[in-house]
Amino acid sequence: MESDNIDIRPMAGAMGAEVTGIDLGGELSNSMREAIHQAFLDKQMIVFRDQSLSAAQQVEVARLFGKPAVYPYLAGVDGVPEAHELIKTPEDPVNFGGVWHSDTTYKPEPDMGTVLYACEVPDSGGDTLFTNTYLAYDALSDGMKAMLDGLIAVNDSEKLYPGGRAARLDKLSAMKGAYNDGAEAMRSEHPVVRSHPETGRKSLFVNGSHTVQFKDMTVEESKPLLDFLSGHAVRPEFTCRLRWQPGTVAVWDNRCTQHFAVNDYPDDYRRMRRVTIEGDKPV
């Protein structure tokens, strides 16, 4: 697809596209904005290479898709509260986002999208995996779809943080100073199957990182079905893989994707900057 000088090329059969011929820090015509937004809806995750963005400019990129959000658990950077850095050093045994998840599903109105900018990346490793949860839903049997219809998932911000987020961030030394110790835990209920407000398509909206159980069921009762759905959602045929380079920008739709930051660079350094975009209540 081409608009002005934009070229949009698929990254994989399941999802993802690289967008070339555009400077996100410059002026964008209406046709450019429309082409970018349509690619975002069609491909669920879009990538721009060789960009040079300040934190403030990255927030403006987020405004192409909606209202930038303030993440409750990390401080902003460069005087920009909506932008925060995700850093892993060679001394840190864990990384940020190293599990399959959709951003902030524990919020009453989860963030609809994410803009991630690569500041410094390893020579190899540090890729991000994505999965298309439209396809995950479509591949379910009619019987499973009928069972999931009306089922509500309970999502909790603390599921992955035994001992609290501060204990987790003790293993991410470069990020400890950015942690917002006063932010309260969040817990929200959302449909297991949600309808996208723009495309109308249904997607599977549970993940192993934040979904703890189903409403009116115990954790133990919920676990077998939740484990199945979490594993089903990330089948290889639903996924694509993004290799980062300095200056790469990725924008993805949290309403119909999950992602996984691969922690395979133990002796290297990675610094990313993230802005999320406010969403609405899933239905």
Residue among 190, 196, 273, 274 flagged as catalytic: 274
Annotation says 274 is catalytic: yes
Q: Pick the catalytic residue from 103, 111, 156, 253.
A: 103
133 HSE (CA, 13 A, CB side): 26
- Residue 72 CB-half CA count within 13 A: 15
Which amino acid makes up residue 98? G
In sequence order, which residues have a C-beta less than 8 Å from that of residue 169 and are 6 or more positions away? 175, 176, 179
Q: Where are the beta strands (DSSP E) in the chain?
A: 2-3, 6-10, 17-20, 45-48, 84-88, 113-120, 128-132, 152-156, 187-191, 193-195, 202-204, 211-214, 239-242, 249-253, 257-261, 270-277
Residues whose CB falls within 8 Å of the CB of residue 75, separated by 6 or more in sequence, listed in order: 81, 84, 177, 178, 179, 180
Within 8 A by CB and 6+ apart from 147, the residues are none
Bridge pairing between strands 187-191 and 152-156: antiparallel
Selected catalytic residue, list 84, 165, 190, 259: 259
Q: Please identify which of the residues 84, 92, 101, 156 carries the catalytic annotation.
A: 101
Active site residue 103: yes
Q: Does 101 qualify as catalytic in the annotation?
A: yes
What is the spatial distance between Cα 219 and Cα 206, in angstroms, rounded to a whole number?
A: 14
Using CA atoms of 231, 236, 237, 240 in order, give the dihedral in degrees to the nearest 10: 120
Give the residue from 20, 67, 28 showing the smallest Cα distance to 47.
20
Catalytically active residues, by annotation: 101, 103, 259, 274
